[in-house]
Amino acid sequence: MSVISTITVKVPATTANLGPGFDCIGAALKLYNEFKFTRNERGLIIQVSGTEAEKVQTDESNLLYQAFLKLYQYIEQTSPSVKIEIKLGVPLARGLGSSATAIVGGLVAGNVLAGSPLSELQVMELAIAMEGHPDNVVPALLGGCCLAATGLTGWEICDITWHRQIVPVIAIPDFELSTLEARQVLPTEVSRGDAIFNTAHFGLLLRGLATHREEWLRAALQDKLHQPYRQALIPGYDAVEAAAVAAGAYGMVISGAGPTLLALTDELHTPGVATAMRNAWKQVGIKSVAQSLPLDIQGVTIF
């Protein structure tokens, strides 16, 4: 068998939670990071270009490289020395799954360079263990909108029907919010009322996404498990939400742990919703980039 010497892995951004689906649902978006691994006898080299390239570590602490090493640890082989070229399209620490792209990218590249000893399911389980929750890494790997739940012997993954007329619009502000900080503000216990609220609204969300029934979608994007605690970390949240809804969005939620905000709308209202979100943030002094981003349905691609 010939040894593969170079491989490029392209991984989509993801938006997790979708309101009431905290830590269990996410969707892949057409925005990508690309990672090229080349065997290289002269030791680790990491080169980064693209969006916010200067913020990425280029030593052994790099998360992409850590994931690559993890794969080799798991299969109990010595990892090859590599040169890694990173092309970033997904902004960092914005709630768009940039860490998930690194984890998935490193594991998938490692697996292919090792001759693909692990199945996609095994890679996915390693990715979930590394990230600590499944809602970014699963759609990053598989594409589309995915629900992950613990099964009796491992993870159960469902692809979630997303009606083609529902379009995501994301507004990415020019400030970062670490997932750690956004998780630290969450309570460790919730009331029965809040649990019931989320169970009902999550069910409604799944039906709303499948059917595009507007009144269901409008109600379904509400959440009581994480958003009420996180909104204070995102200045202008209420104004951006009101502007998005007034411009024709069904509703707005925090993308992942934030601070990016995600509105769902239809094709017709997309430009107006994006402009309204950007302007609302501008009025409170926050610069942002807002645009519609269709769902990616392929997940990770290798070439």
**Sole window of 17-25, 54-62, 73-81, 166-174 interacting with ligand HSE (rule: CB under 6 A):** 17-25
Least Å from the CB of residue 61 to ligand HSE = 19
* 96 marked ligand binding residue: yes
SS3 190: coil
Q: Verify binding: residue 273, ligand HSE, rule CB under 6 A.
A: no
**Residue position matching structure tokens 């929750």:** 133
Q: Verify binding: residue 67, ligand HSE, rule CB under 6 A.
A: no
Least Å from the CB of residue 107 to ligand HSE = 17
DSSP letter at 286 equals: -
- 242 vs 154, 237, 278, 293, CA distance in Å? 41, 9, 12, 21
Radius of gyration (C-alpha) of the chain in whole angstroms: 19
Residue number, 136 or 292, with CB nearest to ligand HSE? 136
Q: Verify binding: residue 15, ligand HSE, rule CB under 6 A.
A: no
- Cα–Cα distance for residue pair 27/32, rounded to 1 Å: 13
Q: Verify binding: residue 10, ligand HSE, rule CB under 6 A.
A: no
Give buried/exposed letters for 197-207 (b at 16+ CB in 10 A, else e): bbeebbebbbe
Least Å from the CB of residue 200 to ligand HSE = 20
SS3 129: helix
**Residue position matching structure tokens 């269990």:** 24
Which structure tokens are listed for 258? 């934030």
Residue number, 101 or 270, with CB nearest to ligand HSE? 101
Q: Verify binding: residue 256, ligand HSE, rule CB under 6 A.
A: yes
Residue 287: burial class (beta carbons within 10 Å; 0-12, 13-18, 19+) = exposed
Give residues with Cβ within 8 angstroms of 99, minimum separation 6: 63, 131, 136, 179
How many residues in the chain? 303
Among 30, 83, 183, 218, interactor with ligand HSE by CB under 6 A? 183
Q: Which of 246, 251, 183 is nearest to 223 (CA)?
A: 251
Q: Verify binding: residue 293, ligand HSE, rule CB under 6 A.
A: no
Alpha carbons within 13 angstroms on the beta-carbon side of residue 51 total 15
Q: Verify binding: residue 223, ligand HSE, rule CB under 6 A.
A: no
- Cα–Cα distance for residue pair 189/16, rounded to 1 Å: 21
Q: Verify binding: residue 224, ligand HSE, rule CB under 6 A.
A: no
Q: How many residues belong to the site for ligand HSE (CB under 6 A)?
A: 13
* 94 marked ligand binding residue: yes
Among 33, 101, 111, 179, interactor with ligand HSE by CB under 6 A? 179
- Cα–Cα distance for residue pair 5/40, rounded to 1 Å: 9
Q: Verify binding: residue 16, ligand HSE, rule CB under 6 A.
A: yes
Binding mask 109-148 for ligand HSE (x = CB under 6 A): ------------------------x-xx------------
* 99 marked ligand binding residue: yes
Q: Verify binding: residue 89, ligand HSE, rule CB under 6 A.
A: no
Least Å from the CB of residue 137 to ligand HSE = 9
* 101 marked ligand binding residue: yes
Instruction: Output the known binding site for ATP.
Output: 91-101
Residues that bind ligand HSE (CB under 6 A): 16-17, 22-23, 133, 135-136, 179, 182-183, 226, 256-257
